[in-house]
Amino acid sequence: MAISLSTFDSQYDNKPKQLDFPEWKHFEKFLYMLAGRALAGKRDAPLVSPAIYVPDTTRANKNVIGWAGWAAVDVDDVEIEGDIKDYVLKLAGDWKFICYSTASSRPGKVKFRMVFELDGHIPADKIKHFWFALQSKLDESGDKQCKDLSRMYYIPATYNEAHNFIFSQEGNTIDSDALLAAYPYAEKRNSNNFMDRLPDAIQNAVIEHRKNAMTNASFHWSGYHDCPFWPQRMANEYRVISDAGWYSKMYGMMVAIAGRAISRGYPITSNQVADLCKQFDAENGNWYENRPLNIEADRAIEYAYRNN
């Protein structure tokens, strides 16, 4: 069966480039080739995704057509005694897989990714159910809710200072229909968020009501230094990050800003949130000089309205 993947030059790249492979063995050879590349760390690494997209669009979830014949699962938070291969073989059973270490893998704390061949493509409207079923089958402790149809993964490589490895097993492709049938899924029922379990129309009405209730316009500031919603503790933590995690921490700061503003009735905008973070970034690495932070800021505000 043909396998496809989308590639991205970095985590900031929003334009997918699709590669196609006639069979799994060609896809496997490609991953092994990548694993031989020496890279300093994730900041230098391209990413891949099982998602394929509507042509000439971005990697937004709404543009995902499906997952093109493969899926990947990260195993990060397990204590493994003995041989890593024995653990992975037991976890995978008779499924065909490729297993490779991630950039943060260390001899004392092994972290790896398992890539499985599927018996076909998973259409977009079944991805969330498939992810839930796959995680349930593997008994993973991670989040079983698939919030991102456009999942991206750093490529295998020989990362500096990492515990690097790659190996694979011949076996059976995942029977996706059987897996879905074995683990029924009700998307709204399985959400931990009360809002998510409401009908879409009611969700939208609740969010609109909350937005209309933001009438306290008495707050003013000249920059992030004197902004009453600025999350100083998170900003201090951001400053001492040494190797990775800048983006996730920055996004967390956006959510915190939005949440603090909303809790005090202030109708904060995505432009305001983005401007505060750009000011802070300019003094702390300037990582996001050319990144349109308004998009992430808008998502952060939406999250805050749903969860605050």
- The verdict on 72 and 205 lying in the same domain is no
In the chain, how many domains are there? 2
∠ at Cα 120 (13, 115), nearest 5°?
Answer: 55
Quick one: average pLDDT of 157-183? 94
- The verdict on 204 and 172 lying in the same domain is no
In a domain, 226, yes or no: yes
Q: How many whole angstroms separate alpha carbon 78 and alpha carbon 106?
A: 13
What integer pLDDT is reported at residue 261 of this predicted model?
Answer: 95
Given 153, 182, 211, the domain boundary residue is: 182
pLDDT interval class at 69 (50, 70, 90): very high
CB 72 within 8 A of CB 182: no
Cα first-last separation, the chain: 46
- The verdict on 200 and 175 lying in the same domain is no
What integer pLDDT is reported at residue 143 of this predicted model?
Answer: 47
In a domain, 120, yes or no: yes
Lowest mean pLDDT of 1-10, 95-104, 183-192, name the range.
183-192
Q: Mean pLDDT across the chain, nearest whole number?
A: 87
pLDDT interval class at 306 (50, 70, 90): confident
What integer pLDDT is reported at residue 100 of this predicted model?
Answer: 97
Structure tokens at 155: 């490529």
Q: How many whole angstroms separate alpha carbon 118 and alpha carbon 179?
A: 11
- The verdict on 151 and 36 lying in the same domain is yes
Helices (H) and strands (E) in the chain, counts: 9, 13
CB 151 within 8 A of CB 52: no
- The verdict on 176 and 226 lying in the same domain is no
pLDDT interval class at 286 (50, 70, 90): confident
Given 137, 160, 182, the domain boundary residue is: 182
CATH code for the domain in which residue 23 is found: 3.90.920
- The verdict on 61 and 126 lying in the same domain is yes
Lowest mean pLDDT of 103-117, 202-216, 264-278, name the range.
202-216
In a domain, 190, yes or no: no
Rounded to 10 degrees, the C-alpha dihedral 183/187/189/195 comes to 160
Quick one: average pLDDT of 120-149? 79
In a domain, 187, yes or no: no
- The verdict on 124 and 76 lying in the same domain is yes
Q: How many whole angstroms separate alpha carbon 52 and alpha carbon 149?
A: 10
If one counts every other C-beta atom within 10 angstroms of the C-beta of residue 26, the result is: 12
Q: HSE (CB half, 13 Å, CA atoms) of 15? A: 1
% of the chain residues with pLDDT over 70: 89
DSSP assigned state of 128 = H
In a domain, 168, yes or no: yes
- Distance (Å) of CA 61 to CA 49, 58, 190: 12, 9, 20
Under DSSP, is residue 151 helix (H, G, I), strand (E, B) or coil? coil
In a domain, 281, yes or no: yes
pLDDT interval class at 39 (50, 70, 90): very high
Going by their DSSP bridges, the two strands 70-75 and 97-101 should be labelled as unpaired
The whole domain housing 221 covers 195-307
Given 126, 160, 182, the domain boundary residue is: 182
Closest CA to 69 of 96, 34, 35, 32: 96
In a domain, 189, yes or no: no
- The verdict on 296 and 160 lying in the same domain is no
Q: How many whole angstroms separate alpha carbon 238 and alpha carbon 284?
A: 9
What integer pLDDT is reported at residue 214 of this predicted model?
Answer: 92
In a domain, 244, yes or no: yes
The pLDDT of residue 191 is above 60:
no
- The verdict on 61 and 145 lying in the same domain is yes
- The verdict on 34 and 83 lying in the same domain is yes
- The verdict on 27 and 162 lying in the same domain is yes
CB 113 within 8 A of CB 74: yes
- The verdict on 134 and 245 lying in the same domain is no
DSSP assigned state of 190 = T
